[in-house]
Amino acid sequence: MAVKIGRNDPCWCGCGKKYKMCHENFDRKLEQFRQKGYAVVDHSCIKTPAQVEKIKESCAINVAVLDYVGEHIAAGVSTEEINRWVHEETIKRGAIPAPLDFNGYPKSVCTSINEVVCHGIPSENEILKEGDIINIDVSTIYHGYFSDSSRMYCIGNVSEEKKKLVEVTKECVEIGISKVKPWEPIGNMGHAVHQHALDNGFTVVREIGGHGVGLEFHEDPWVSFVSEENSGVLMVPGMMFTIEPMVNMGEAAIWTDEKDGWTVRTKDGKPSAQWEVTVLVTETGCEVICW
């Protein structure tokens, strides 16, 4: 704790209450864990109830946009068409697609087909066909608050092995969610995700992970899905982060296309799947706020 706050001073969280009525006990507990050797996040990662409400409004739009995509996606549709849907469905709700212009990203959504691991750029020339699996990654800014989630879609008849990849990846996220508990290290979550993928003969991408989200697109902490148990920062109430493992059918190795600077593919050309949710750590467990 950088600044010592008096017990009767306003709480650092901005709620307007006195420190002793708000986060004093929380800070004491955090300090006890820190002294025991646990890594702890700083206050900037802890959302206040007022912020959580605002972020949830952003999440509701993110979910509605993904629902729209789910109702319309089909063979014969181009990924540019999906980009238009996402852009229009977002704008008409008074929100902004977070990917557009983010570090120079040229579109409003990421569309990652088959061996594309993530950050696939929509294109008029890319037409969905029967047997494809695709990740649609939507992120929204609403009144300055960020949300982020993604889903997989199977186009028509998909091979059994691809179907299994998509299902197991979803289970990985569900298992991750079940491991989000306050005052436990985040590595326990990432470890369980990884283990479930390995148990099914798959691998998990190491270089790209999840992230804090809410007040910015990408906040601390960085979240690994190949972590050791009892490693990483402590999950504490008010923290918000994504669970978004990228699960590969073959090797875990990836490469980034230098032609567009974004598209990430598997090195062996085998398919990859990803689902993404945003979770809020609560006093008793976790709340999934965006899926």
Q: How far is the CB of 88 from Co ion (least distance, A)?
A: 22
Q: Does 148 bind Co ion (CB under 5 A)?
A: yes
Q: Which does 102 bind (CB under 5 to 8 A by kind): Co ion, ligand MF3, none?
A: ligand MF3
Beta strands in the chain (DSSP E): 96-97, 110-113, 116-118, 133-142, 145-154, 184-185, 203-204, 210-212, 219-223, 234-235, 240-243, 246-248, 254-256, 264-266, 272-274, 277-281, 286-290
- Please, which residue, 11 or 240, has the CB nearer to Co ion? 240
Q: How far is the CB of 117 from ligand MF3 (least distance, A)?
A: 12
- Please, which residue, 11 or 239, has the CB nearer to ligand MF3? 239
Q: Does 276 bind ligand MF3 (CB under 6 A)?
A: yes
Contact indicator for 232, 41 with CB cutoff of 8 Å:
no
Provide the 10 A C-beta neighbour count for residue 112.
26
Q: How far is the CB of 110 from ligand MF3 (least distance, A)?
A: 5
Q: Which of 146, 157, 162 is nearest to 113 (CA)?
A: 162
- Please, which residue, 242 or 263, has the CB nearer to Co ion? 242
> How large is the C-alpha radius of gyration of the chain?
20
Q: How far is the CB of 136 from Co ion (least distance, A)?
A: 13
Which amino acid is present at 238?
G
Question: Using CB under 6 A, which residues numbered 78 to 137 contact ligand MF3?
Answer: 99, 102-103, 105, 110, 119, 137
- Which chain residues interact with ligand MF3 by CB under 6 A? 99, 102-103, 105, 110, 119, 137, 139, 148, 244, 276
